[in-house]
Amino acid sequence: MTTTGGKGARAWTAGAAAAALTLSACGGGATGDGGGETVTYWLWDANQQPAYQECADDFEAAHPDIDIEIEQRGWDNYWTALALGFVSESAPDVFTDHLSHYPEYVTRDLLLPLDEFVERDDVPLDIYEEGLADLWIGEDGRRYGLPKDWDTVAHFYNADMTEEAGITEEELSSLTWNPEDGGTYEDVIARLTVDASGVRGDEPGFDKNNVRTYGLWLEMGPSYNHGQAQWSMYAAANGWEATDRNPWGSEFNYDDPAFQDTIAWWHSLIDKGYMPSLAAQEGLLSPDQLAAGNAAMIMNGSWMTSTIFAYEDLNAGLAPTPIGPTGERASMFNGLADSIWAGTDSPEASWEWVKYLASPACQRVVGEHHVVFPAITEAWEIARQRFAKDGIDVTPFTDHVENGTTFLFPITDHAGDIGSLMVPALESVMSGQAPVDSLTEVNEEVNSLFR
C-alpha cells in the first residue's frame, strides 16, 4: 500500500476495498479461515475491557485463525496515540470511534467504508436503537462504523446530603429550570451548597467565598464535546439547536439568545458561590469531588454509573435532568461505534471482528457487564436489569430514550478547529474575563470554517 500524499497514513481506496472483498469471496487473501491473523483493537475505557475481552475470547473460539489483541488507553492519551499511529502507519486495525473525530478521519481517508461488507453479509441495521446506525454514515453517504453503545446524561447526587437538606427524591425528579432565575432547580442547588460555617446557600449569612460543599460541580476539561455533560442539556431544554441541521450542519448557533442566556445562567452559579470557579475545578474530576463531599450533585454520563456507585462511603443517587422552558427534559444522545483503519493489512479479519462487536452475541455480553448501554435494544435492557439487581435505578438515563427527549451529538466537519475556538471562548466567559455576547463573534469564526 502507498502513503497518501500529505496525510501520513495508508489510504484504502474504494477500489482496493472492493478488490479485498472479491479475493475473500473467491477464497483467496488472508482471511480468518486460513490466514492466521492478529487484529489489534483499541478502546479507552478500562471499565469496559473485561466485557470486550470476553467477547474476544468467544470470537476467537469461533474463529481459531484470528487472534484479537486488545489495547486500552485513557481518554486523554487515546486520540494522540491514534493520530501518531495514523502518521507512522501503525494504527490499530479496529478502534472505538467517537462522533467528534470520525468526520475528520473520513475527510483524510483514514477509515475503511463498510457498505460492501454490510451488504455482502446482509448485516441487519434495524436491531439498534433508533438513529444510532445512521450516525455513522458520512457526508459522502458511506458507512464508517457499526454501533456499539449509547449514552445520555443525568444527575448523580449524594443521597445523605440531599436527605440532610430536606430534599426528597420526588423533588429531585420533578425539578424545573429556566435561565432567568434557575427555577426550582437552582433552589435545590442553593440549598445543597454549604459554606465553611455550615450556612446553606439559601440562608442569610451564606459566605460564597468560603464554600465547603458546592451544590453543583463545574467540570470543564481541555477537550470540547459540545457541552455534553456540562451545558447542552440546559440549552436544548431552552429550545436551542447547535446547528442548522444534524448531521452535517454548516452553520452553528452560538449567537442564539437561547444559548447565550443558558451560558449566562450557568456562569451565574459561580458568581453566587453555588458552583466552583473555573480555576478551582481545573484538573479535578466531578465524580471524585462528589465522593469526597466537595459537591452534593454533579451532571455526568451514563457511562460513569458503575464507577460512581462503587465509591466507598458514598450513598449515591440518580436524578433526571431538569424540565426546561420547552416543557421537557433534554439530553444529548451520543453513540460510539467501531471503525476499521483504512491502512489495515487485515481488512477481512477486521471486518469479522467489527461485525461480531456489533452483534447480539457480543452486545449481550456487554449488557451483562452493565458498564454502558449497548446499542441493541435487547442488550441494553439486559444492562438495565443488571443495574436493577445492584439496586441502581437507571431510569433517569433510559427515560430519555424511551420518551424521545434526546438530541443528537452535532456531527460536522472541522471538529478540531471548532474545539480550538470554543474551549478558550467558553473559558473566558466562565472565568468572567469576557461577556457572554463575545460568543457571537466566536460563532462567526466557527461558521467561517465552512465557507
Residue 56: CATH number of its domain: 3.40.190.10
pLDDT on residue 76: 80
Say if residue 166 is in the same domain as residue 293. yes
pLDDT on residue 95: 98
pLDDT on residue 157: 98
Would the CA dihedral through 355, 356, 358, 359 be positive or negative? positive
Compare 225 and 421 and report the one with higher pLDDT: 421
Compare 141 and 222 and report the one with higher pLDDT: 141
pLDDT on residue 340: 98
Per-residue model confidence as pLDDT tens digits over 2-61: 222 232 332 333 333 333 333 333 323 344 344 589 999 999 999 999 999 999 999 999
**125-144: average pLDDT:** 94
Residues whose CB is less than 8 angstroms from the CB of residue 420 and which lie 6 or more positions away in sequence, other chains included: none
What are φ and ψ of residue 2, in 5° steps?
-105, 160
Residue 430 lies in a domain: yes
Say if residue 176 is in the same domain as residue 147. no
Residue 395 lies in a domain: no
pLDDT on residue 176: 98
**188-212: average pLDDT:** 98
CA distance 320 to 449: 36
Say if residue 29 is in the same domain as residue 125. yes
Instruction: List the domain range (segments joined by +) for residue 430.
Output: 153-331+409-448
When divided into structural domains, the chain yields a total of 2
- Residue 403 scores a pLDDT above 50: yes
Say if residue 370 is in the same domain as residue 319. no
**439-446: average pLDDT:** 98
Residue 393 lies in a domain: no
- Residue 405 scores a pLDDT above 50: yes
**90-115: average pLDDT:** 96
Residue 294 lies in a domain: yes
Say if residue 227 is in the same domain as residue 270. yes
Beta-strand pair 37-43/66-72: parallel
Query: Please, are residues 48 and 369 in contact by the beta-carbon 8 Å criterion?
Result: yes
**Considering the chain, what percentage of its residues have pLDDT values greater than 90?**
89
Say if residue 297 is in the same domain as residue 436. yes
Q: In 169-258, which ranges are E strands?
A: 194-195, 211-213
Task: Give, in order, the Cα–Cα distances in Å from 69 to each of 84, 136, 350.
Answer: 19, 24, 11
Residue 293 lies in a domain: yes
Say if residue 117 is in the same domain as residue 33. yes
Per-residue model confidence as pLDDT tens digits over 330-363: 999 999 999 999 999 999 999 999 999 999 999 9
- pLDDT interval class at 248 (50, 70, 90): very high
Q: Mean pLDDT across the chain, nearest whole number?
A: 92
Say if residue 79 is in the same domain as residue 194. no
- Residue 168 scores a pLDDT above 50: yes
**252-277: average pLDDT:** 98
Residue 380 lies in a domain: no
pLDDT on residue 35: 52
Residue 7 lies in a domain: no
Per-residue model confidence as pLDDT tens digits over 375-399: 999 999 999 999 999 999 999 999 9
Radius of gyration of the chain (CA): 23
CA distance 75 to 244: 30
- Residue 309 scores a pLDDT above 70: yes
**Structure pTM?**
0.89
